[in-house]
Amino acid sequence: MLITTPAIVLHAFDYSETSRIVRLATREAGVQSALARGAKRSRSRFGSAFGLFAEGVAQLHVKEGRELQTLGAFDVMRVRPELGTDLGRFAGASAVAELVLRFGAENEASESLFDALVAALDAIAAAEPALATEAALGGAWHLVAQLGFAPSVTLCGACHAPVSAEDDLPFSLSAGGVLCGACAAGYSGGRLLPAPARACIATWSSAGRVGALAERDARAHQRLLRQFLQHHVSDGRSLRAFDAWEKGGWTAP
């Protein structure tokens, strides 16, 4: 079956002397791995299509039950060069790409997930270098919401009762969100989540934007996001791009 769909290159690597394998996020078919035969030849029909984060229209020959599809063509529409000119932007975009690659492959809501990915990469590319982390956090939390794993920050994660927007509340990874006073005693190993941080997560999850964060707060948000993903939707493997984003974008304390 031939599928023609908008797609974004999230990863590419050599397969042979002449071909490459690409990992694509697509709007109609979710995350797909595809073989681009002859992509390394000097006169390849793919040209320079496989730059990281390039967006275009892919023609995929899809066979049900097969993990590696065949890429017939990829017509590039956008390349987002801004993501490669700043380390903070690149690290944030790489973390967002890893999120989609690792957790979006079996997601059926591929259209909403793809649109959220486009919005995330666009926001990171357009962000001033000093605001790249905030843009990436926003894009990542919105993608988590599209995947169906957004944390509960306005209701208790255990009993689902409303909680005050002004209070600093305990946050539990196992409960999937903040806890009210009555439920907090039943969960151990949590942390206190300040009310402003909860407001940021709620805004990001709904595709909103926040202003600049203090470096300490941004680091705390990165750490919470990584730990939340590892607890709820990771398969036990480390999140390498998230680790690099969290550690590489900051000077040591």
Is 196 contained in some domain?
Answer: yes
What pLDDT, on the 0 to 100 scale, is given for residue 138?
Answer: 97
pLDDT of res. 33 = 92
CB atoms within 10 A of CB 216: 10
Cβ burial 147-185 (10 Å sphere, 16+ → b, else e): beebbbbeebbbeeeebeeeeebbbbbebbbbbbeebbe
What was the pLDDT predicted at 14?
A: 83
Residue 66 has pLDDT above 90, yes or no: no
Q: Using CA atoms, how far apart are residues 111 and 247, in angstroms rounded to an integer?
A: 32
Query: Tell me, what's the pLDDT at 252?
Result: 30
Residue 74 sits in which domain range?
A: 2-78
Same domain, 73 and 87: no
CATH number at residue 39: 2.40.50.140
pLDDT digits over 97-135, tens only? 999 998 877 655 578 999 999 999 999 999 999 999 999
219 pLDDT higher than 90: yes
Whether 65 and 50 share a structural domain:
yes
6 and 122 fall within a common domain: no
Which of 45, 78, 111 delimits the end of a domain? 78
Among 33, 48, 78, where does a domain finish?
78
Residue 125 belongs to a domain: yes
Residue 174 lies in a domain: no
Number of domains in the chain: 2
Digit-coded pLDDT (tens) for 37-58: 876 665 556 655 678 899 999 9
| Closest to 160 (Cα-Cα) out of 149, 151, 173 | 151
On whether the pTM is more than 0.85, the answer is yes
Residues 50 and 105 in one domain: no
Task: Judge whether 183 lies within some domain.
Answer: no
Looking at this protein, which amino acid is placed at residue 142?
A: H
